[in-house]
Amino acid sequence: MRGSFLLAQGFPFHEANGPVVGWLVALAVGGCLLSGCGDDGEPPARANVQVFIGPSTIAVESPVLKVIVQRNPFRLEFAARDQGDPLTRTAAHNGLFYRRGNGAAEVTAVGAATAEHAGVRLTVETGEGEQGQLVVAFVTERTVRLDFVPPRGAETTAVGASWESPGDERIYGLTERLRDSPPLLPGVVEVPQEEARPREVGSLDRRGETVEMFVRPTIAVYAPFYQSSRGYGLSVAGTMPGLYDLAATEPNTVSFVFESGSRPENQHLTMFLFYGPEFSTILDEYTRLTGRPLVAPAWAFLHWRWRDELPLGPPGELDGVPINAAVAEDVLMYEQLGIPSGVYLLDRPVLQGNFGFARFAWDEDRLPNARAMLDALRRRGYRLVTWSAAWVCGSNPGDNGYEAQQLGFIAPMRRTGAPFCDDVRGRNFILDVTNPAAREWFQERLARFLRDEGIDGIKLDRGEEHIPSERSDIWADGRSGREVHNDYVVLQTRMHREALDLVRPDGNYVLIARAGYTGTQADSIVWGGDTAGSEDFGEGAGTDLGMRSAIISQQRAAFLGFPIWGSDTGGYYQFKHRDVFARWIEFSAFSGIMEIGGKGSHAPWDMPTEPKYDTEMIDIYRRYTRLRHALQPYIVAAARDARRGLPLVRPMPFLDPSDRELQDRWDQYLFGPDLMVAPVWRIGQRERVVYFPRGRWRNFWDTDEVYEGPAWVRFPVPLDTILVFLRDGAVHPVEKPPS
C-alpha cells in the first residue's frame, strides 16, 4: 500500500489522489464508557492504532486486533492480527439498521472518512438515501468501540445490528434466566410462567433462542453482553429494552435490536467488541469498561442462615433474654449439632409497619429485644445482614411512604392514593431513584439504621418488580418508563452501595442483589432469585428443576461478569424431596455464596419430609457447612481474581475452549483455579458420568485416586456425596475434608 504518513488529529483524509495511511500512536483512552465504572486506580488504557483509508476498504488496527470496513456494499469485519479467519463480521443484509415509523433502513455504503481518536469517523449511506455516522475506535488494544448514529436520530424507534454466525459458534451470556416465557398475569404479576413451573430447558449455549433484554423478576441478572466460542465478546451500551435473535430466525445470523429513547444517547447504537481469545481476558476488558466487580469480605464466604419469615408468636430464649423463637431455635440447634456460625440474614418482614418495611425500626412484636438478640448473635461470631428494597411503604405520618409522598419522591405509578406496599394490590410505593434528592433522602434514613444497629450488609430485593415502564410514565429526570426500566436496577443498587459506604467506608460489608444489569457488578454480588424447590410458588409438586436451573444460572452469571453468585439452597419455594435439599446443600458449598433459607424451615431438624428430625440430613448439613468454612481461605484467594471479572465458579469452556466436549458442559464446573465440581441434581440419582479434560485429576475425597483426561468415568454418588476433583499438582485446599 502506498500513501503518506500523517499524525491523525481528527482531520479528513482527502482521497482524490489515492489511498492514504494515517498512524495513531499511543493515544491514551480513558473514562467509563457504559453504565458503570469502578475506581481501582488503574492507569488509563492505551492503544497503538494504525488507520488505512483506501478506495474500497478502510482498516483500523491495533497490535492484536484489526477492523476492516468494506465500503460498498458496506460490511464490518473483526479479526485477530495473528489469524486469517475473521472473529465475526456484519451480515450481508441489515448489518447496521434502524427503524422509523413503519419502515426500516440499513447502512449500504461508506462515504467520507476522517481519522480521529484512535480510529476513524465514517459518513455512511443508508437505504432511504440519507446519511448517518459511524465511529470505529480502539479503547484498548483488545477493545473496539462502534458508535452508529442514524440519520434524524430523534425520529428513530429502534436501532440494531446483525452478525454472521457459523453453525458451530457457541453464544454465552445475556441472562441468568434459562429461557424467556410469558408473564403469569401481565400488568399484575410479571413473573414468567416457567419460573413458577420450571422446565428442563437451557444450557450454557444460547444458540437458537430469542432473548428479551428487559429485566423481569425474579431470576433477574441481565446484561446486553455475550461471549462467543470464537474468542470475542460483544456488549451494547445503555439500558434501553432490546431483543436478541441468536440464530433462531436465520440459522447463521445473530442479530439484536434496541428501542430508541428521548435522549440523544438513546438514539444511536454503541457497541463494544472485546477480543480474548480467553474468556478471562474478555471479562478483564469488559469489566475495565463497565466497572470492576465488588469483591465481598472474607466473612461473606462463610455459610449464611436465614428464613423467609420469622413468625410472630411466643418468644424463645437466648442467653436468658426472650427473642424471636425461630432465631433462638436456629442458634441453639446449631450449637447442639456442632454447626458453625456464619452469616445470619434477617429477611423481611422484620421492620415496622406496612409490608414489614414502612420504617427503619425493628418490629418489636416480631423481634422482641432486638438489640439484645443481635448482641447474642455477634458474641457467637455471626455477621448480620438485613433486607432492603427501593420501596417506600406505609401511609401513616413518619412512614417512609408517607414522607416520600409529601416530598414528591415517588415514581409515576398507575395506582394513585396513599402509599401501600403489596405484591398484587400495591400502589404508589416505588421510590423515584432518578431523583438525586430522593436517593439522598432514602440513603440517610437507611444509613442511620444500619449504623445504629450494627448491620454488616444488605440483601437487596425487588429491583425489577412493579417498575413504571410505559412511555407515558415520566420520571423525575425526564426519561420515560421504557428508558428507566432496566436502569432502575443500576440506580437502586448504587444507592444502596453508597449508603453502605457512608456507614462502613472501609468496605467491610456485603451487598447482595437479586437483579443486575450492566455495571451493577461494581456495586453488588448477586443471588439467583426465587428458585423453585416446588412448583406454583410452593403450592404444587416438588421439583428438582430449580436446582438444575441454579447450576446453569451461576455459570450464565459468570459469563456476564458477575463473578460471585449464590442461590436459595433447597429452593426459595420449599423443597418437598429430601434429595433436593441434600444435593443443593452440596452444590452450594461449592458456589460463590452458600446461603441456606427460603420459605419453610430449610432446617434438617425440622424437615417437611419424613423423618421430620432427619439425622442423615443433619449429617449432610453439618458436613458441608463445616467444609465450606474450611474452604474459606481457598475461596477468598480465588475471589481476589474476581476484581478483574474472573468468576469464582468458572464454566468448563474457561479451561479449554478448544475441547468440544466442554463447550456446552453445564453439569460440571471449576470452583476457583484448582477444583472441578460435578454435582448431581436429579431426585433418586445415585451415579453419574464425569468428563475429565486433558491433564491429571485427583479425587478431592481420596487423593490416591488419579484420573487422566480426556476420559469419561462413571462414579457412584451416594446422597451425602458430591464429586469434586483436584487439579494434579495443586495444593489440597483442606487438610482433612470433614467426614
Same domain, 369 and 263: no
The C-alpha atoms of residue 302 and residue 383 are separated, in whole angstroms, by 10
Q: What does the pLDDT read at residue 415?
A: 84
Q: What does the pLDDT read at residue 83?
A: 84
On the 0-12 / 13-18 / 19+ scale of CB atoms within 10 A, 630 is: middle
First-to-final CA distance of the chain? 70
Please check whether residue 475 lies inside any domain of the structure: yes
Same domain, 59 and 153: yes
Kindly indicate the confidence band of residue 334, based on its pLDDT and cuts at 50, 70 and 90.
Answer: very high
Query: Which is it for strands 525-527 and 510-513: parallel, antiparallel or unpaired?
Result: parallel
CATH code of 462's domain? 3.20.20.80
Same domain, 512 and 430: yes
Contact assessment for residue 321 and residue 369, using Cβ atoms and an 8 Å cutoff: yes
CA distances from 180 to 204, 212, 254, 448 (A): 15, 7, 17, 40
The C-alpha atoms of residue 243 and residue 180 are separated, in whole angstroms, by 11
Same domain, 252 and 348: no
Which carries the bigger pLDDT value, residue 482 or residue 82? 482
Q: What does the pLDDT read at residue 148?
A: 98
Kindly indicate the confidence band of residue 14, based on its pLDDT and cuts at 50, 70 and 90.
Answer: very low
Please check whether residue 707 lies inside any domain of the structure: no
Please check whether residue 649 lies inside any domain of the structure: no
pLDDT in tens, 113-141: 999 989 999 999 999 999 999 999 999 99
| Ramachandran class of 531: left when φ > 0, alpha when ψ lies in -120 to 50, beta otherwise | beta
Kindly indicate the confidence band of residue 44, based on its pLDDT and cuts at 50, 70 and 90.
Answer: low
Please check whether residue 40 lies inside any domain of the structure: yes
Q: For residue 671, how many other CB atoms are within 10 A of its CB?
A: 22
AA identity, residue 410: I
Please check whether residue 248 lies inside any domain of the structure: yes
At 385, is the secondary structure helix, strand, or coil? Answer: strand
Backbone torsions φ then ψ of 623, nearest 5 degrees: -60, -45
Contact assessment for residue 606 and residue 633, using Cβ atoms and an 8 Å cutoff: no
Same domain, 239 and 105: yes
pTM: 0.94
Contact assessment for residue 160 and residue 255, using Cβ atoms and an 8 Å cutoff: yes
Kindly indicate the confidence band of residue 737, based on its pLDDT and cuts at 50, 70 and 90.
Answer: confident
Cell of 342: 456464619
Q: What does the pLDDT read at residue 739?
A: 64
* Confidence check: pLDDT of 281 > 50: yes
Q: What does the pLDDT read at residue 45?
A: 60
Contact assessment for residue 700 and residue 725, using Cβ atoms and an 8 Å cutoff: yes
Q: What does the pLDDT read at residue 43?
A: 55
Q: What does the pLDDT read at residue 46?
A: 62
Mapping DSSP onto H, E and C, the string for 298-338 reads HHHHCEEEEECCCCCCCCEEECCEEECHHHHHHHHHHHHHC
Average pLDDT over residues 484-495: 98
Residues 6+ away with beta carbon under 8 Å from 620 = 582, 585, 586, 604, 719, 720
Same domain, 137 and 29: yes
Average pLDDT over residues 80-92: 94
Of 489, 507, 527, the last residue of a domain is 527
Least Cα distance to 123 among 104, 146, 91, 148 occurs for 148
Q: For residue 729, how many other CB atoms are within 10 A of its CB?
A: 9
Percent of the chain scoring above 70 in pLDDT: 93
pLDDT in tens, 542-574: 999 999 999 999 999 999 999 999 999 999 999
* Confidence check: pLDDT of 25 > 70: no
Kindly indicate the confidence band of residue 699, based on its pLDDT and cuts at 50, 70 and 90.
Answer: very high
Same domain, 266 and 358: no
| Ramachandran class of 301: left when φ > 0, alpha when ψ lies in -120 to 50, beta otherwise | alpha
On the 0-12 / 13-18 / 19+ scale of CB atoms within 10 A, 44 is: exposed
Of 242, 259, 275, the last residue of a domain is 275
Please check whether residue 176 lies inside any domain of the structure: no
Least Cα distance to 138 among 114, 160, 116 occurs for 116
Same domain, 139 and 253: yes
Kindly indicate the confidence band of residue 380, based on its pLDDT and cuts at 50, 70 and 90.
Answer: very high
Average pLDDT over residues 599-611: 97
Average pLDDT over residues 472-478: 97
Same domain, 362 and 505: yes
* Confidence check: pLDDT of 22 > 50: no
Least Cα distance to 409 among 382, 386, 387, 436 occurs for 436
pLDDT in tens, 494-503: 999 999 999 9
Same domain, 485 and 408: yes
Contact assessment for residue 665 and residue 706, using Cβ atoms and an 8 Å cutoff: no
Mapping DSSP onto H, E and C, the string for 516-579 reads ECCCHHHCCEEECCCCECECHHHCCCECCHHHHHHHHHHHHHHHCCCCCEEEEECCCECCCCHH
The C-alpha atoms of residue 280 and residue 388 are separated, in whole angstroms, by 33
Kindly indicate the confidence band of residue 24, based on its pLDDT and cuts at 50, 70 and 90.
Answer: very low
Average pLDDT over residues 515-539: 98
pLDDT in tens, 408-418: 999 998 888 99
Backbone torsions φ then ψ of 203, nearest 5 degrees: -155, -160
Helix (H), strand (E) at residue 510: strand 510-513
Query: Read out DSSP for 110-127?
Result: EEEEEEETTEEEEEEEET
The C-alpha atoms of residue 160 and residue 633 are separated, in whole angstroms, by 46
At 48, is the secondary structure helix, strand, or coil? Answer: strand
* Confidence check: pLDDT of 36 > 50: no
Q: What does the pLDDT read at residue 416?
A: 86
Same domain, 252 and 350: no
Of 275, 310, 332, the last residue of a domain is 275
The C-alpha atoms of residue 332 and residue 204 are separated, in whole angstroms, by 41
Please check whether residue 401 lies inside any domain of the structure: yes
Please check whether residue 300 lies inside any domain of the structure: no
Contact assessment for residue 553 and residue 214, using Cβ atoms and an 8 Å cutoff: no
Helix-strand-coil split of the chain, %, nearest 5: 20, 35, 45
Please report how many Cα atoms fall inside a 13 Å half-sphere around the Cα of residue 674, on the Cβ side. 17
Residue-range definition of the domain harbouring residue 372: 343-377+384-527
The C-alpha atoms of residue 610 and residue 95 are separated, in whole angstroms, by 59
Q: How many domains does the chain have?
A: 2
Query: Read out DSSP for 142-157?
Result: TEEEEEEE-TTGGG-S
Q: For residue 633, how many other CB atoms are within 10 A of its CB?
A: 13
At 474, is the secondary structure helix, strand, or coil? Answer: strand
Q: What does the pLDDT read at residue 20?
A: 38
Choose the weakest-confidence range: 99-108, 349-358, 372-381, 730-739.
730-739
Least Cα distance to 342 among 309, 297, 400 occurs for 297
Same domain, 106 and 252: yes
* Confidence check: pLDDT of 198 > 60: yes
